Chain A
Amino acid sequence: MGSMIIGLDVGGTHTDAALISHGQVANHAKVRTDYKDLYSSVMGALDQVLDGVDVADLARIVFSTTLATNSVVQGKEDPAALIISAGPGLDPTNFLPTRDYYVVKGGIDHRGREIQPINPEEIRSIAREIHENYLTCLGVAGKFSTRNPTHELDIKKALGDGFQYIATGHTVSGNLNFPRRMITTYLNAAIYRTHKMFFDAVDRSLASRKITAPIYILKADGGTMGLHQSLDYSAQTILSGPAASVMGVLGLAHTEEEAVVLDIGGTTTDIAVLADGVPLLEPLGITLGPYKTLIRALFSKSVGIGGDSCVRINMGKVTIGPDRAGPAMAFGGPQPTPTDARVVMGLVKIGDHDRAVAGITGLAEILKVRVEYAAELIVNTTCRNIVNEVNAVIKQINSQPVYTIHEFLEGKVIRPRKIIIIGGPAPHLAPRLRELFRTATTVPEHYDVANAVGAGIARTTTEITLNVDTEREVLYCPEEQRRENVSSNFTKKDAIRVAFELLTKRARRMGALEEKIDMELVEDMEFNIVRNFYTTGKNIRIKAQVKPGITSKFFA
């Protein structure tokens, strides 16, 4: 196998590709993203970096796409049906993502015990109805299915073989949150066809170019998974853009500290946070348009400040964004932008200088100041707004709840020691940001294609949850659909060992090629189960993951 890596990130404005060879960016390409023909954008960028490369030298190709993001955010994904078994509790129809839903019999409690059985006849009649509505993809989600998947699996079985794809709730995440599980399961079903069609096409084109290197897809949590495996987890590939940038920073600006990563783009600035060099994750999952999901993702806050944000004067004050009316005036846009201000200040020599000056002059006249001063004011305001947003993000992270005395006393507080800035305007805003933050700022090399680099070098990651109930003598791992009996003297140590075994297998299946997989425990708790003042068992809860990070091969 070869040693070269290609990373490819489809962004809102541009599609970036990077060819990485022996830890160096050997070639990169930037093409405009054409939403009507994403396939051509992707293949166009790919062909540019493949120019002159012997495809036998490729070790892997990693795609980060926003393929389904826009349709999901706008609520225009393919229709899919959803079968829900909720049992008592909140009315599940409060959270529904689709009109094609069926609330069916069946209930599981918090320890995975059956409250009410399902009725297979009911499911079979629903299957007929879904067929009559010409829906081919559907999801099955049950409350507490991560504690016991039997009902979801029985429902899937009763539905029969006639559907193209059936997503089940217990495999989307080991975390508890039934409304999010319903939605994420539904998304997996609704995106399935788009995801499959696109990557089947990419797969065919690569084959026609004689490329045999394995293909990976970047997930929103900054890890990758094999193309084939991604079919069952298509929702996890939505919104991988911020993850691509953060992983790029990890590769380009090696840092072990607490740091803030700013990806300043045309429309938005994405803020991410590193603790000890490791990116922070969203506590439960990302929110996408109307949907709160269980899609594991790097923590990233997107704010409406970018190079193309509209600049206005409101009550004598400069405001930036949050909207974008088009490109900067220097590039024929309708409204003055921070990019125009940079052109006026002579920081960049791009586009039509006169148009930029004309735009900023309009604002300078309202402010009754010189045009150069107005330009400086705009850049300063842009930077100050970013700083305020970053401070708000840090405050929010530091006020997250804790559940044990130990955590409270430990009181880990994030205090960033470094700001790492990437994206087009990075070098021009860095000096002013440095002054405002009073913290070291870095603009890494290849700051404008960090996202593509990030996709290329991200590690294959995955995680598992293990619940052991020694009173009921069961062990259960929802992600791996593994349910087995254990003896009543099963210990936490045993559970951790099993968790790492299952995690290793799963990581291999997802495409991990490293010899030694870097794993860690995320949670390990053990509680007594007490009946009438006597301990009758233990409730052990383990979460383990492949440490997110960049592949060691990058530095090889």
Chain B
Amino acid sequence: MKSNKKMGLVFFPAFDWAISPTHPEREERLLYTQDQVSEEGLLDIDGIIELRPSMADFSDIDRVHICVPQAQKVTTVSHLLSAGGAIAAADAVMTKKVDCAFALVRPPGHHAMRVVCGARGFCNVNMEAIMVEHIRHKYGRKRVAIVDTDCHHGDGTQDIYWHDPETLFISLHQDGRTLYPGTGFIPELGGTNAMGTTINIPLPPHTSEEGFIYVTENIILPILKDFQPDLIINSAGQDNHYADPITDMNFSAQGYAHLTSLLQPDIAVLEGGYSIEDALPYVNVGIILAMAGLSYEHVKEPDYDPVRIRQSNKTTDYIKEISEKILCLYGEAKCRRGLFIRERNSVTRERRIYYDTDDITEIQKEEITVCDKCAGTIVIDSRSDKGTICAVIIPRDACDSCTTEGRERFARLDRQKYDYVYLQDRVEDNYIREGRK
């Protein structure tokens, strides 16, 4: 048997890591998936190869995150290996060893924002962002689209790419009014310099295959076509499944495989999904077959019944309605980008960020320089139990004026006011952290 696309699989189940023994994010989360993948003989298929994870290093993390107090303190080896797994998948694709790759790794990362004071929604650092910035650092400038199909809003990835016009972030998820983290609404369209490169598709509870495929065909694919990415990344969370214990959706293995075959991601990275026995084994086999361009028609959960899980007509109508609204706002957002630029020099937002897994509250003020030549320099003021910090972020390919402004502002920072100050200089790939003098 031979696959139609050459596919790489990084399988790192971290059988010896858990948040706690009965936590959903625990040792055996991928155990039954590994059983199913082994028993189906997927790795014997010509064209599907297993890749060994590498270990990410702290510079990979510092390229994306501002860790308080530092990367070494907010991560464990498992996080470096999970990120390293995503990086191994990316390297195999970028060097053309394979056509596409799937990193079946844990722990997940899509709730991890730019500033990391602890763990949020089982996530400490953002695997996709670490991988994408590794790609850009190693292989040059790329337009990247990240499509997050986890049931929870990918608020971490959204935060990291909020101001980046070269990264399109699309999240489809269960409506934030009914599920953690309570964000990801339609008007969240991106920051001043990147309006329209963040898209949120909040779906009502009990959405089934029909609804997911509808928004994929009618929102995601057209916007991807418009954006023209060099790479499509899928944050492949699997908690939209009807058997998932912590969500309320009605998606299936067949649906996930179909969605994957429509999306044709270059790299997929596992996110959530906690029905470890009844959903994950089948969803993962479906995704792997779909990525490899093979038939997945017989991949079904033992209790799969498409009629039983079908969404109501009301849900179908509602999804059509929000789809129109999203497409309309997407069109407007691109025009609004210009308006801001004429009006202001900088834009500020202030937020309170709660780290539910570690019970930490952070108060954050973020100021972005309005710029029509680059993503704009960002200055972040953050205070939490972990310390008071200030970080200056000069984006990749920053224009001269934003670069100069960033470096000057970092030099001028009042070191006495903060426990730590950070410079994340992406132009020079230079990361500085200084403690209070």
Given contacts A110-B32, A403-B34, contact A90 B15 (CB under 8 A): no
Cα distance A222–B382 in the bound complex, in angstroms: 63
A177 & B44 in contact (Cβ 8 Å cutoff) = yes
Tell yes or no: B366 within 8 A of A by CB.
no
Q: How many chain B residues touch A (Cβ–Cβ < 8 Å)? A: 47
Tell yes or no: B78 within 8 A of A by CB.
yes
A180 & B41 in contact (Cβ 8 Å cutoff) = yes
A405 & B16 in contact (Cβ 8 Å cutoff) = yes
B52 & A402 in contact (Cβ 8 Å cutoff) = yes
Tell yes or no: B317 within 8 A of A by CB.
no
Tell yes or no: A199 within 8 A of B by CB.
no
B41 & A179 in contact (Cβ 8 Å cutoff) = yes
Tell yes or no: B289 within 8 A of A by CB.
yes
Tell yes or no: B272 within 8 A of A by CB.
no
Cβ-neighbour of A405 out of B26, B51, B77 (below 8 A) = B77
A-binding segment of B128-136, B181-189, B298-306 = B298-306
Report chain A residues within 8 Å CB of B50: 401
B-binding segment of A42-50, A235-243, A527-535 = A527-535
A404 & B302 in contact (Cβ 8 Å cutoff) = no
Q: Which of B41, B245, B304 has the most CB of A within 10 A?
A: B41
Given contacts A178-B41, A404-B14, contact A528 B27 (CB under 8 A): yes
Given contacts A178-B40, A532-B245, contact A115 B302 (CB under 8 A): yes
Q: Which of A109, A179, A532 has the most CB of B within 10 A?
A: A109
Cα distance A409–B24 in the bound complex, in angstroms: 25
Q: Please encode chain A, from 65 to 105, with 1 for each CB lying within 8 Å of some chain B CB and 0 for all others.
A: 00000000000000000000001111100110000000000
Tell yes or no: B140 within 8 A of A by CB.
no
A534 & B41 in contact (Cβ 8 Å cutoff) = no
Report chain B residues within 8 Å CB of A176: 35, 38-39
A88 & B302 in contact (Cβ 8 Å cutoff) = yes
Cβ-neighbour of B52 out of A178, A179, A399 (below 8 A) = A399
A144 & B22 in contact (Cβ 8 Å cutoff) = no
- Min distance, Cβ B422 to any Cβ of chain A, angstroms: 28
Report chain B residues within 8 Å CB of A143: 39
Report chain B residues within 8 Å CB of A533: 22-24
Q: Please encode chain A, from 158 to 191, with 1 for each CB lying within 8 Å of some chain B CB and 0 for all others.
A: 0000000000000000011111100000000000
B298 & A403 in contact (Cβ 8 Å cutoff) = no
Given contacts A110-B32, A527-B28, contact A405 B17 (CB under 8 A): yes
Cα distance A95–B55 in the bound complex, in angstroms: 35
- Min distance, Cβ B10 to any Cβ of chain A, angstroms: 8
Report chain B residues within 8 Å CB of A412: none
Tell yes or no: B53 within 8 A of A by CB.
yes
Given contacts A177-B44, A178-B39, contact A403 B13 (CB under 8 A): yes
A530 & B22 in contact (Cβ 8 Å cutoff) = yes
- Min distance, Cβ A85 to any Cβ of chain B, angstroms: 13
Tell yes or no: B122 within 8 A of A by CB.
no
B26 & A179 in contact (Cβ 8 Å cutoff) = no
Cβ-neighbour of A401 out of B17, B26, B52, B304 (below 8 A) = B52
In A375-421, which residues have CB < 8 Å from any B CB? Answer: 399-406, 408-409
A530 & B39 in contact (Cβ 8 Å cutoff) = no
Cα distance A38–B307 in the bound complex, in angstroms: 62
B39 & A88 in contact (Cβ 8 Å cutoff) = no
A403 & B245 in contact (Cβ 8 Å cutoff) = no
Tell yes or no: A525 within 8 A of B by CB.
yes
A405 & B78 in contact (Cβ 8 Å cutoff) = yes
Tell yes or no: A491 within 8 A of B by CB.
no
B51 & A91 in contact (Cβ 8 Å cutoff) = no
Tell yes or no: B371 within 8 A of A by CB.
no
Tell yes or no: A292 within 8 A of B by CB.
yes
A527 & B31 in contact (Cβ 8 Å cutoff) = yes
Cα distance A406–B298 in the bound complex, in angstroms: 36
Report chain A residues within 8 Å CB of B16: 404-406
- Min distance, Cβ B406 to any Cβ of chain A, angstroms: 37
Cβ-neighbour of A403 out of B15, B55, B285 (below 8 A) = B15
A525 & B299 in contact (Cβ 8 Å cutoff) = no
Cα distance A180–B40 in the bound complex, in angstroms: 9
Cα distance A107–B303 in the bound complex, in angstroms: 12
A400 & B77 in contact (Cβ 8 Å cutoff) = no
- Min distance, Cβ B297 to any Cβ of chain A, angstroms: 8
Q: Which of A89, A527, A528, A533 has the most CB of B within 10 A?
A: A89
B81 & A405 in contact (Cβ 8 Å cutoff) = yes
Cα distance A111–B36 in the bound complex, in angstroms: 10
Cα distance A88–B281 in the bound complex, in angstroms: 12
Tell yes or no: A539 within 8 A of B by CB.
yes
Cα distance A546–B53 in the bound complex, in angstroms: 32
Tell yes or no: B295 within 8 A of A by CB.
yes
In A515-532, which residues have CB < 8 Å from any B CB? Answer: 525, 527-530, 532
Given contacts A90-B289, A530-B26, contact A95 B41 (CB under 8 A): yes
Tell yes or no: B1 within 8 A of A by CB.
yes
Smallest CB-CB separation from B42: which chain A residue? Answer: A90
Cα distance A53–B222 in the bound complex, in angstroms: 85
Given contacts A90-B289, A399-B52, contact A180 B31 (CB under 8 A): no
A539 & B299 in contact (Cβ 8 Å cutoff) = no
Cα distance A165–B39 in the bound complex, in angstroms: 25
Smallest CB-CB separation from B30: which chain A residue? Answer: A403
Report chain B residues within 8 Å CB of A539: 28, 31
Cβ-neighbour of A110 out of B53, B277, B299 (below 8 A) = B277
Given contacts A91-B298, A403-B11, A405-B16, contact A528 B21 (CB under 8 A): yes
Smallest CB-CB separation from B51: which chain A residue? Answer: A401
Given contacts A177-B41, A405-B77, A535-B22, contact A88 B298 (CB under 8 A): yes
B302 & A534 in contact (Cβ 8 Å cutoff) = no
A180 & B44 in contact (Cβ 8 Å cutoff) = yes
Q: Please encode chain B, from 61 to 81, with 1 for each CB lying within 8 Å of some chain A CB and 0 for all others.
A: 000000000000000011001
Tell yes or no: B420 within 8 A of A by CB.
no
Report chain A residues within 8 Å CB of B17: 405
Cβ-neighbour of A88 out of B12, B32, B299 (below 8 A) = B299
Smallest CB-CB separation from B15: which chain A residue? Answer: A404
Cα distance A89–B35 in the bound complex, in angstroms: 13
Smallest CB-CB separation from A182: which chain B residue? Answer: B41
A88 & B300 in contact (Cβ 8 Å cutoff) = yes
Report chain B residues within 8 Å CB of A115: 302
Report chain A residues within 8 Å CB of B26: 528, 530
Cα distance A62–B14 in the bound complex, in angstroms: 43
Cα distance A178–B42 in the bound complex, in angstroms: 10
Name the 5 nearest CB pairs between A and B, nearest first: A527-B28, A179-B41, A176-B38, A115-B302, A176-B39
> A-contacting residues of B (Cβ < 8 Å)?
1, 11-17, 21-24, 26-28, 31-32, 34-36, 38-42, 44, 50-53, 55, 77-78, 81, 245, 277, 281-282, 285, 289, 295, 298-302, 304
- What are 7 sample pairs from A and B whose C-beta atoms fall under 8 A apart? A87-B302, A109-B302, A176-B35, A176-B39, A402-B53, A404-B14, A405-B16
> B-contacting residues of A (Cβ < 8 Å)?
87-91, 94-95, 107, 109-111, 113, 115, 143-144, 175-180, 292, 399-406, 408-409, 525, 527-530, 532-535, 539
In addition to A89-B299, A401-B53, A404-B14, 5 A-B residue pairs with Cβ atoms within 8 Å of each other are A89-B298, A90-B289, A110-B39, A144-B39, A178-B40
